[in-house]
Amino acid sequence: MNNKELISNVASKMNLPKNEVKYLLEAFTETFRNQLKEDNSIGFQGFGSFEIRKKEERLSVHPLTKVRTMIPPKLVVSFKQSSVLKDKLNVKF
Protein backbone atom coordinates (compact mmCIF):
# COMPACT_ATOMS: atom_id res chain seq x y z
CA MET A 1 0.00 0.00 0.00
CA ASN A 2 1.54 3.23 -1.06
CA ASN A 3 0.81 6.77 -0.13
CA LYS A 4 -2.05 7.20 -2.59
CA GLU A 5 -3.80 4.03 -1.59
CA LEU A 6 -3.43 4.96 2.03
CA ILE A 7 -4.95 8.37 1.40
CA SER A 8 -7.84 6.93 -0.54
CA ASN A 9 -8.43 4.28 2.13
CA VAL A 10 -8.40 6.85 4.92
CA ALA A 11 -10.55 9.22 2.87
CA SER A 12 -13.15 6.52 2.27
CA LYS A 13 -13.24 5.70 5.97
CA MET A 14 -13.40 9.34 7.07
CA ASN A 15 -15.77 10.43 4.34
CA LEU A 16 -13.44 13.26 3.52
CA PRO A 17 -12.11 14.38 0.17
CA LYS A 18 -8.72 12.95 -0.71
CA ASN A 19 -6.92 16.27 -0.96
CA GLU A 20 -8.03 17.09 2.56
CA VAL A 21 -6.79 13.77 3.84
CA LYS A 22 -3.62 14.39 1.95
CA TYR A 23 -3.22 17.72 3.68
CA LEU A 24 -3.86 16.07 7.03
CA LEU A 25 -1.30 13.39 6.29
CA GLU A 26 1.29 15.95 5.34
CA ALA A 27 0.61 17.88 8.52
CA PHE A 28 0.90 14.70 10.52
CA THR A 29 4.18 13.60 8.93
CA GLU A 30 5.68 17.04 9.35
CA THR A 31 4.77 17.14 13.00
CA PHE A 32 5.90 13.61 13.47
CA ARG A 33 9.26 14.30 11.92
CA ASN A 34 9.79 17.49 13.78
CA GLN A 35 8.99 15.90 17.08
CA LEU A 36 11.26 12.99 16.39
CA LYS A 37 13.98 15.39 15.45
CA GLU A 38 13.50 17.08 18.75
CA ASP A 39 14.37 13.71 20.24
CA ASN A 40 10.90 13.28 21.49
CA SER A 41 9.48 9.84 21.62
CA ILE A 42 6.03 9.47 20.25
CA GLY A 43 3.65 6.81 21.42
CA PHE A 44 0.38 5.88 19.79
CA GLN A 45 -1.82 3.87 21.97
CA GLY A 46 -2.73 0.54 20.57
CA PHE A 47 -0.19 0.81 17.83
CA GLY A 48 3.32 1.38 19.07
CA SER A 49 5.90 3.93 19.93
CA PHE A 50 8.58 5.73 17.97
CA GLU A 51 11.73 6.98 19.53
CA ILE A 52 15.20 8.04 18.65
CA ARG A 53 17.98 5.82 19.74
CA LYS A 54 21.63 6.44 19.61
CA LYS A 55 23.68 3.66 18.15
CA GLU A 56 27.07 3.85 19.74
CA GLU A 57 30.22 3.90 17.71
CA ARG A 58 31.70 0.53 17.11
CA LEU A 59 34.67 -1.13 15.57
CA SER A 60 33.96 -3.41 12.69
CA VAL A 61 36.57 -5.75 11.30
CA HIS A 62 36.24 -6.95 7.79
CA PRO A 63 36.34 -10.71 8.05
CA LEU A 64 38.45 -11.17 4.92
CA THR A 65 40.66 -8.13 4.67
CA LYS A 66 40.90 -7.68 8.44
CA VAL A 67 40.55 -3.97 7.89
CA ARG A 68 39.35 -2.36 11.05
CA THR A 69 36.77 0.27 10.45
CA MET A 70 35.41 2.66 13.00
CA ILE A 71 31.70 3.04 12.59
CA PRO A 72 30.65 6.39 13.99
CA PRO A 73 27.70 6.75 16.33
CA LYS A 74 24.37 7.49 14.79
CA LEU A 75 20.81 8.27 15.66
CA VAL A 76 18.08 6.03 14.39
CA VAL A 77 14.35 5.89 14.57
CA SER A 78 13.12 2.84 16.30
CA PHE A 79 9.60 1.61 16.38
CA LYS A 80 8.27 -0.75 18.96
CA GLN A 81 4.92 -2.27 18.38
CA SER A 82 2.47 -2.25 21.18
CA SER A 83 1.31 -5.51 22.67
CA VAL A 84 -2.15 -4.68 21.46
CA LEU A 85 -0.96 -4.52 17.88
CA LYS A 86 0.98 -7.70 18.34
CA ASP A 87 -2.09 -9.48 19.59
CA LYS A 88 -4.11 -8.14 16.72
CA LEU A 89 -1.52 -9.30 14.22
CA ASN A 90 -1.33 -12.73 15.75
CA VAL A 91 -4.98 -13.49 16.02
CA LYS A 92 -5.45 -17.19 15.47
CA PHE A 93 -7.98 -17.98 12.87
CA distance 44 to 88: 15
Closest to another protein by CB, 64 or 70: 70
Residues 12-31 that bind another protein (CB under 8 A): 13-14, 16, 20-21, 23-31
9 binds another protein (CB under 8 A): yes
Per-residue exposure over 34-54, b if at least 16 CB sit within 10 Å of its own CB, e if not: eebeeeeeeeeeeebebebee
Task: Return the closest-CA partner of residue 71 out of 86, 85, 83, 54.
Answer: 54
Question: Residues binding another protein: what is the number (CB under 8 A)?
Answer: 62
Where does this chain bind another protein (CB under 8 A)? 1-3, 6, 9-10, 13-14, 16, 20-21, 23-48, 50, 52, 59-60, 67-79, 81, 85-86, 88-91, 93
